[in-house]
Amino acid sequence: MILVTGGAGFIGANFILDWFAVNDEPLVNVDKLTYAGNLRSLAPLAKDTRHRFVRGDIADAALIGELLTRHRPRAVVNFAAETHVDRSIRGPAAFIETNVTGTFSLLDSVREWWSALPDAERAAFRFLHVSTDEVYGSLAATDPAFSESTPYAPNSPYAASKAASDHLVRAYHHTYGLPTLTTNCSNNYGPLQFPEKLIPLMIVNALAGKPLPVYGDGRNVRDWLYVRDHCSAIRTVLAHGAPGATYNVGGNAEMANLDVVRTLCRLVGERRPGLDCERQITFVSDRPGHDRRYAIDASKIRRELGWSPSETFESGMRSTVDWYLANDAWLASVQNAEYRQWVDLHYAERAEA
């Protein structure tokens, strides 16, 4: 079996649902259920004995040690993190607690348990750490895309905390021989994403007739990957990645934010004729330290492991828009008082530019 952390979040939940769609190997899912974790996302598995949910913190060494001893997983896949850049600007402490101290604690619990395993199990074990392209910093328009050897230059508290966690994972491989794998992925989008991130926030606001708040000039560029392609990349790296290696994962879909929002408006308009949400686009004051461009060179994972994305930005966005239109109960459930408070506080302060 495998142990997954943060499996009630956006990517973790997609990973778990996909995992059981392609195999029957049992999985234990440890999640703290912060504002970003939602068991409703895993409702299809409610009666499925292959999935075992445990509410807990990756920094709880006693709990993690007990789960490792009891279940003897062949792998740990670490999704658990604080993930929203804007929240990291407003309150960085939680990012240091979970992403740095929490990842450290998880690594150390795993190392202690793993080092006492019989040789064959020790050699076969994998610790896969899910990370981001934001650790590499910001690119100018003509710079080459990030490769695995691009120096780290994180700019936000979120990116810095993920960079620190990547360094700890690297150190646990080099110092203790823990068979680690790290993936650095570009921006994900798709079903089950919490509507504080660009794409689901814009879909929610488009449908509600609210402003679509584009930061700065809207020309910041991200590479976008459909979440199920990220999940297949993680499964591929887990199965075939070289211990100690890092792999960049991307969607070959660099887009300026304004173009992302226009695409989304077109697709929403096709499904809801009469809605012309481009008129709702509103330029608001920029994010402090806003990275201009991210781009991923994903040639290593393609060359060495044969992985490439299946979805284009257009096909992935169609599925995403359709999913949000069909899942208003899920959307309503996450738009609770805490969510509304975040949106009110965060966007009230961004005067129209």
Binding interface with ligand TYD (CB under 6 A): 85, 187, 197-198, 201, 213-215, 220, 222, 257, 287
Q: Which residues pair with 283 in a beta bridge?
A: 214
36 binds ligand NAD (CB under 6 A): yes
Burial of residue 353, with CB atoms counted within 10 A of its CB: 0-12 exposed, 13-18 middle, 19 or more buried: middle
CA distances from 261 to 53, 123, 174, 191, 337 (A): 36, 46, 43, 17, 26
180 binds ligand NAD (CB under 6 A): no
Site for ligand NAD in 66-85 (CB under 6 A): 79-81, 83
9 binds ligand NAD (CB under 6 A): yes
Do 245 and 31 form a contact (C-beta atoms < 8 A)? Answer: no
Which of 59, 56, 55, 156 is closest to 100 using CA atoms?
Answer: 59
29 binds ligand NAD (CB under 6 A): no
Least spacing, CB of residue 192 vs ligand TYD, in Å: 14
179 binds ligand NAD (CB under 6 A): no
Kindly list the catalytic residues: 133-134, 158
Q: Which does 102 bind (CB under 5 to 8 A by kind): ligand NAD, ligand TYD, none?
A: ligand NAD
Q: What is the DSSP string of 180-248?
A: EEEEEE-EEESTT--TTSHHHHHHHHHHHT--EEEETTS--EEEEEEHHHHHHHHHHHHHHPPTT-EEE
Least spacing, CB of residue 41 vs ligand NAD, in Å: 9
Q: Which does 12 bind (CB under 5 to 8 A by kind): ligand TYD, ligand NAD, none?
A: ligand NAD
How far is Cα 297 from Cα 148, in angstroms, rounded to an integer? 8
Pairing of strands 254-256, 221-226: antiparallel
Least spacing, CB of residue 11 vs ligand NAD, in Å: 4
Q: Which does 169 bind (CB under 5 to 8 A by kind): ligand NAD, ligand TYD, none?
A: none
How far is Cα 129 from Cα 62, in angstroms, rounded to an integer? 21
Q: One symbol per residue from 191 to 230: x for binding ligand NAD (CB under 6 A), - otherwise; what is it?
A: ---x------------------------------------
Selected from 33, 245, 275, 331, the binder of ligand NAD by CB under 6 A is 33
Q: Which is nearer to ligand NAD, 27 or 280 (CB)?
A: 27
How far is Cα 215 from Cα 174, in angstroms, rounded to an integer? 41
Q: One symbol per residue from 84 to 103: x for binding ligand NAD (CB under 6 A), - otherwise; what is it?
A: --------------x---x-
Least spacing, CB of residue 246 vs ligand TYD, in Å: 19
Q: Which does 257 bind (CB under 5 to 8 A by kind): ligand NAD, ligand TYD, none?
A: ligand TYD
Selected from 3, 19, 31, 260, the binder of ligand NAD by CB under 6 A is 31
Selected from 10, 127, 226, 313, the binder of ligand NAD by CB under 6 A is 10
Q: Which does 222 bind (CB under 5 to 8 A by kind): ligand TYD, ligand NAD, none?
A: ligand TYD
How far is Cα 130 from Cα 234, in angstroms, rounded to an integer? 8
Burial of residue 302, with CB atoms counted within 10 A of its CB: 0-12 exposed, 13-18 middle, 19 or more buried: middle
Least spacing, CB of residue 96 vs ligand NAD, in Å: 11
Find where tokens 């966690």 sit: 165
Selected from 155, 187, 236, 257, the binder of ligand NAD by CB under 6 A is 187
How far is Cα 223 from Cα 188, in angstroms, rounded to an integer? 9
How far is Cα 302 from Cα 222, in angstroms, rounded to an integer? 20
- The type of residue at 52 is R
5 binds ligand NAD (CB under 6 A): yes
How far is Cα 237 from Cα 38, in angstroms, rounded to an integer? 26
- Contact residues for ligand NAD, defined by CB under 6 A: 5-6, 8-12, 30-34, 36-37, 57-59, 79-81, 83, 98, 102, 130-132, 162, 185, 187-188, 194
